[in-house]
């Protein structure tokens, strides 16, 4: 038997998910996240998983990991000491930024801290124009002086971004070769290698992000690889932000591409589940300890975007509202993320209003009820007080819960000052956090031109199934799906994906004036690079695939939309189809289209995939005769406290019907089925929750 293992670091827990490739058996191991050294938690989870399921190390065929190291380094401003080299007169591009503002009416809004301070931003004499022609030759006599300055600055990495290098990279290549020869111990990131695309600020920002986090990622992965090797496990793979895994050298070549690796894994798992249960339209909802993430899957396809900012505040993932973070122009699964998790802290502001987040109790000290030193009430504490969580069932009873401490803190810090009962204060916390998370779901659906009523909500993460039916009611979503091991679902996505890398190259042309041969040659160059990458993976060539797409815009527009190119070859017919697809995409996104307007090609893109054998995901079911655990009072809006049956998910039978209110518990998560909802267990063990008859309170 062969196994795949994926390890995902969350804000509170680190999860290891296992799948047996032959039997489809799945399992999960959960350990507390170790913020002092994230690698320690990863190794602990791996050891626990291997022991619990008796997996021989030589039977592991794939080991994948989702890391938060890149995001954390930027959020905490603890990246590497970085130098930036720019065309003379343009070293302040990172500070000038765009005029975008996340809050249009906040006159005192501060931009994010510049990753490279001015004294480490250097210049070199050279100039290439907008046609890619050399206007001022590269001043090679200045390179030695730049090298000496870099040595004196004692930097850890160097970013190089020269004007129009995406059209002509000769100056960057010459400068890069000299720097790498003179500074062999310092990584050098060239914008023409990282992102050969239009837009100076975004290209420079992406290159600077790579340099800023590259040494941090390298150090972390080196230590982790050594630990994994000590366990006799196979080489490590890293989840990319666009939804595929890459090997460690590939991740280090493009560190910005692994910014959102954890959330991306969850969406990949959601898409895989949707394919297997025949539901192609899904709203993916992932709620963990510190954040909640939403994404959209339409007709089985995952939405991606290159308009993403890292290190920004809430709203930085909104496609039309930027300005708080550092742009990275790499394909990222289109996510909306809010600071709403089980560890989000509830507090009262100076005006006396109840707030939730953005601060989180995290893994240390965690919610008050964990008994690890937490002093501020959190969403998890509120769920416990309302009866949704059981003091004796977290992690299968291995984690002790202090119910009295949670009640006492809610009373002292929220209910008392608000002149409410403890239940009313706890319900207020849940209502606020649900509203914040509903906004994230609206961003990826309504604001993208999609109707939530046409989708099912797939809820996962340790806290996702607790809140799912409330969010479905808010958005009029007709069905909630709870997959197997929801608390480790993102880790499951790590082993259900493929090897993937995205490529791009700017090419300005009017679509209907460009020959198919020209575009075929340009895409062919990207395919040649992709073939070299896939050859190194060891995946047989018959399992490779290449998906072409293009960033297009109307000729008088400034920004583009990405549209897939249909077919393996570029033909006149395929270009007509591409144009029609763009018009439809524009109408869906903006509400209008103009078929008389010329379409301009801006960037050609390629997604190269090395397909791994497909996995089947299913929850083991039982006969259902002894699934009942106990009755517990739980508080529901408009109903108050209700005696609610508590069921053991591992003992539920396929075909079981559950009428809300009910609570379904498992090792890694708790499912709340609200009054007015019904659940059934399908043949694969998925919990499918739909609207049912309103509960008869008289007979409850």
Instruction: Give dist(CA 65, CA 523) in Å, integer.
Output: 31
The whole-angstrom separation of Cα 558 and Cα 179 is: 35
What is the β-pairing status of strands 544-554 and 561-564? antiparallel
Element (H, E) at 588: helix 572-590
SS3 percent helix, strand, coil of the chain, rounded to 5, is 35, 25, 35
Q: Are 289 and 229 in contact (CB under 8 A)?
A: no
Q: What is the pLDDT of residue 695?
A: 39
Please calculate the CA angle 70-339-334 and round it to the nearest 5 degrees.
60
For 501, phi and psi rounded to 5 degrees? -145, 140
CA-nearest of 311, 330, 309 to 319 is 309
Q: For residue 517, what pLDDT band results from cuts at 50, 70 and 90? A: very high
Euclidean distance between CA atoms 292 and 67, whole angstroms: 17
Q: Which H/E stretch holds residue 663?
A: strand 662-665
The region of weakest confidence among 5-9, 484-488, 545-549, 695-699 is 695-699
- Tokens coding 74: 């930027």
If we measure between CA atoms, which residue out of 690, 691, 689, 686 comes closest to residue 277?
686
b/e map 512-529, b = 16+ CB within 10 Å: eebeeeebeebbeebbee
Mean pLDDT score, 602-610? 93
Q: Rounded to whole angstroms, how far apart are CA atoms 9 and 611?
A: 25
Averaged confidence pLDDT in the chain: 88
Rg (CA), the chain: 26
Give the pLDDT confidence score for residue 531 in this predicted structure.
Answer: 94
CA distances from 214 to 169, 175, 207, 209, 257 (A): 22, 20, 10, 8, 11
Strand duo 3-9 + 60-66: pairing: parallel
- pLDDT, residue 20, reads 87
d(CA 574, CA 572) in angstroms, rounded, equals 6
User: Of 57-71, 363-377, 465-479, which range is least confident?
Assistant: 363-377
- Among 559, 296, 578, smallest CA distance to 448 is for 296
- Whether residue 156 is predicted with pLDDT greater than 90 in this model: the reply is yes
Q: Could you give the CA distance from residue 169 to residue 425 in angstroms, rounded to a whole number?
A: 60
Answer yes or no: are the C-beta atoms of 468 and 474 closer than 8 Å: no
For a pLDDT cut of 90, what percent of the chain falls above it? 56
Tell me the domain boundaries of the chain: 77-217, 344-432, 499-610
What is the model's pLDDT at position 320? 44
pLDDT of residue 660: 87
Q: Which of 23, 68, 30, 26 is closest to 48 using CA atoms?
A: 30
pLDDT at 363: 65
Determine if residue 516 is left, alpha or beta; phi over 0 gives left, psi from -120 to 50 gives alpha, anything else beta.
alpha
Strands (E), 197-328: 236-239, 245-247, 282-287, 292-298, 301-302, 304-305, 308-310, 326-328
Query: How would DSSP label each residue in 462-512?
Result: SSHHHHHHHHHHHHT-SEEEE-SSGGGHHHHHHHSS-EEEEEEEEEEEEGG
End-to-end CA distance of the chain: 48
Q: How far is CA 17 from the centre of its chain?
A: 17
Average pLDDT over residues 515-526: 95
pLDDT band at 102 (very low <50, low <70, confident <90, very high): low
- Residue 10 phi, psi dihedral angles, 5° rounding: -105, 175
Measured between alpha carbons, how far is 168 from 143 in angstroms, rounded to an integer? 19
Please choose, from the candidates 337, 615, 335, the residue with its C-alpha nearest in 3D space to the C-alpha of residue 494: 615
Whole-number Å distance between alpha carbons of 170 and 166: 10
**Mean pLDDT calculated for residue range 229-234:** 90
pTM reported for the whole predicted model: 0.81
How many angstroms separate the CA atoms of 444 and 569, rounded? 32
C-alpha span between 373 and 409 (Å, rounded): 12
pLDDT digits (tens, 9 = 90+) for 12-23: 778 898 988 888
Mean pLDDT to the nearest integer, 138-142: 96
Confidence category of residue 536, pLDDT binned at 50, 70, 90: confident
Cα atoms in the Cβ-side hemisphere of radius 13 Å centred on 645: 13
Token pair belonging to 478? 């007709």
Q: What are the distances in angstroms from CA 460 to CA 48, 397, 488, 492?
A: 22, 20, 8, 11
Burial of 699 (0-12, 13-18, 19+ CB in 10 A): exposed
Q: In whole angstroms, give the CA distance from residue 464 to residue 466.
A: 5
The pLDDT of residue 335: 83
pLDDT band, very low/low/confident/very high, at 516 (cuts 50, 70, 90) = very high
Question: How far out from the chain centre does Cα 467 lie?
Answer: 20
Count of Cβ atoms closer than 10 Å to residue 222 Cβ: 13
pLDDT of residue 589: 86
Statement: residue 560 has pLDDT above 70:
yes
Nearest to 604 by CA among 697, 506, 676, 491: 506
| Closest by Cα among 462, 459, 302 to 388 | 462
**Distance of alpha carbon 477 from alpha carbon 577, whole angstroms:** 33
Q: Which two tokens stand for residue 390?
A: 């059981």
Residue-level length of the chain:
700
Look at residue 315 in the predicted model and tell me its pLDDT: 44
Positive or negative CA dihedral for 178, 179, 184, 187? negative
Report angle CA 357, 362, 368 to the nearest 5 degrees: 85
CA dihedral 138, 139, 144, 146 (to 10 degrees): -80
449: left (phi over 0), alpha (psi -120 to 50) or beta: left
Region 662-688: mean pLDDT is 91
Percentage of residues of the chain with pLDDT beyond 70: 94
- Per-residue pLDDT tens digits for 43-101: 999 999 999 889 999 899 899 998 878 887 887 888 999 999 999 999 999 988 887 76
- Burial label for 578, CB within 10 Å (0-12, 13-18, 19+), is buried
What pLDDT does 179 receive? 97
User: Is the predicted pLDDT of residue 383 greater than 60, yes or no?
Assistant: yes
Over residues 561-597, the pLDDT tens digits come to 999 999 889 999 999 999 999 999 999 888 899 999 9
pLDDT higher than 50, residue 319: no
pLDDT digits (tens, 9 = 90+) for 325-343: 888 888 888 888 888 888 8
Coil, strand or helix at 645: strand
Neighbours of 2 (CB within 10 A): 15
Residue 692 reports pLDDT greater than 80: no
CB atoms < 10 A from the CB of 321, how many? Answer: 18
pLDDT at 373 over 70: yes
CA nearest neighbour of 35 among 58, 55, 11: 11
CATH number of 499-610: 3.30.1490
What confidence score (pLDDT) does residue 194 get? 92
């Amino acid at each position: 038997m062969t196994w795949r293992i994926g390890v995902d670091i969350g804000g509170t827990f680190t999860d290891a998910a296992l799948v047996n490739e032959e039997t489809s058996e799945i399992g999960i191991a959960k350990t507390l996240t170790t913020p002092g050294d994230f690698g320690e938690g990863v190794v602990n989870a791996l050891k626990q998983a291997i022991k619990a399921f008796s997996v021989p190390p030589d039977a592991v065929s794939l080991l994948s990991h989702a890391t938060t190291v890149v995001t954390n380094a930027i959020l905490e401003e603890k990246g590497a000491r970085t130098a930036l080299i720019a065309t003379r007169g343009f070293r302040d591009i990172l500070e000038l930024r765009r005029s975008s503002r996340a809050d249009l009416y906040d006159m005192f809004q501060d931009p994010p801290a510049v990753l490279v301070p001015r004294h480490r931003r250097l210049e070199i004499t050279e100039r290439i124009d907008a046609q890619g022609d050399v206007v001022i030759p590269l001043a090679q006599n200045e390179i030695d002086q730049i090298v000496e300055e870099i040595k004196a600055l004692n930097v850890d990495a160097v970013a190089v971004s020269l004007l129009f290098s995406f059209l002509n990279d000769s100056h960057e290549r010459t400068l890069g070769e000299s720097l790498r020869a003179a500074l062999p111990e310092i990584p050098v990131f060239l914008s023409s290698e990282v992102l050969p695309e239009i837009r100076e600020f975004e290209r420079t920002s992406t290159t600077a992000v790579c340099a800023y986090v590259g040494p941090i990622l390298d150090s972390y992965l080196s230590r982790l690889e050594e630990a994994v090797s000590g366990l006799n496990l196979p080489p490590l793979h890293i989840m990319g932000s666009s939804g595929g895994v890459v090997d460690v050298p590939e991740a280090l070549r493009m560190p910005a591409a692994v910014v959102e690796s954890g959330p991306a894994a969850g969406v990949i798992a959601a898409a895989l589940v949707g394919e297997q249960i025949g539901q192609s339209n899904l709203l993916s909802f992932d709620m963990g300890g510190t954040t909640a993430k939403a994404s959209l899957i339409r007709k089985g396809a995952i939405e991606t975007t290159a308009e993403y900012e890292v290190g920004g505040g809430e709203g930085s993932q909104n496609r039309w509202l930027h300005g708080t973070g550092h742009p990275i122009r790499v394909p990222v699964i289109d996510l909306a993320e809010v600071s709403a998790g089980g560890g989000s802290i509830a507090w009262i502001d100076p005006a006396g209003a109840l707030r939730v987040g953005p601060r989180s109790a995290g893994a240390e000290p965690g919610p008050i009820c964990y008994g690890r030193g937490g002093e501020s009430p959190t969403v998890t504490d509120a769920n416990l007080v309302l009866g949704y969580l059981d003091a004796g069932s977290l992690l299968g009873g291995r984690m002790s819960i202090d119910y009295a401490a949670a009640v006492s803190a809610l009373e002292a810090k929220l209910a008392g000052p608000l002149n409410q009962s403890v239940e009313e204060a706890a319900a207020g916390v849940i209502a606020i956090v649900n509203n914040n998370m509903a906004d994230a779901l609206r961003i990826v659906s309504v604001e993208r031109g999609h109707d939530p009523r046409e989708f099912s909500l797939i809820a996962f993460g340790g806290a996702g199934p607790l809140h799912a039916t409330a969010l479905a009611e808010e958005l009029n979503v007709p069905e909630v799906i709870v997959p197997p091991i929801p608390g480790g679902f993102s880790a499951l996505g790590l082993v259900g994906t493929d090897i993937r890398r995205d490529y791009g190259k700017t090419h300005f042309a009017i679509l209907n004036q460009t020959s198919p041969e020209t575009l075929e040659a340009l895409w062919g160059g990207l395919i040649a690079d992709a073939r070299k990458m896939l050859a190194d993976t060891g995946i047989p060539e018959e399992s490779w695939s290449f998906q072409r797409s293009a960033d297009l815009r109307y000729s008088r527009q400034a920004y583009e939309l990405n549209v897939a190119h249909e077919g393996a070859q570029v033909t006149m017919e395929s270009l007509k189809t591409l144009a029609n697809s763009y018009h439809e995409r524009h109408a869906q996104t903006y509400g209008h289209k103009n078929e008389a307007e010329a379409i301009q090609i801006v960037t050609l893109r390629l997604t190269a995939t090395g397909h791994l054998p497909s996995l089947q995901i299913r929850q083991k079911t039982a006969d259902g005769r002894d699934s009942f655990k106990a009755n517990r009072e739980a508080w529901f809006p408009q109903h108050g406290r209700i005696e609610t049956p508590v069921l053991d998910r591992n003992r539920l039978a396929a075909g079981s019907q559950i009428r809300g209110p009910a609570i379904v518990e498992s090792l890694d998560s708790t499912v709340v089925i609200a009054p007015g909802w019904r659940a059934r267990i399908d043949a694969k063990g998925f919990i499918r929750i739909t609207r049912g008859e309103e509960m008869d309170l008289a007979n409850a």
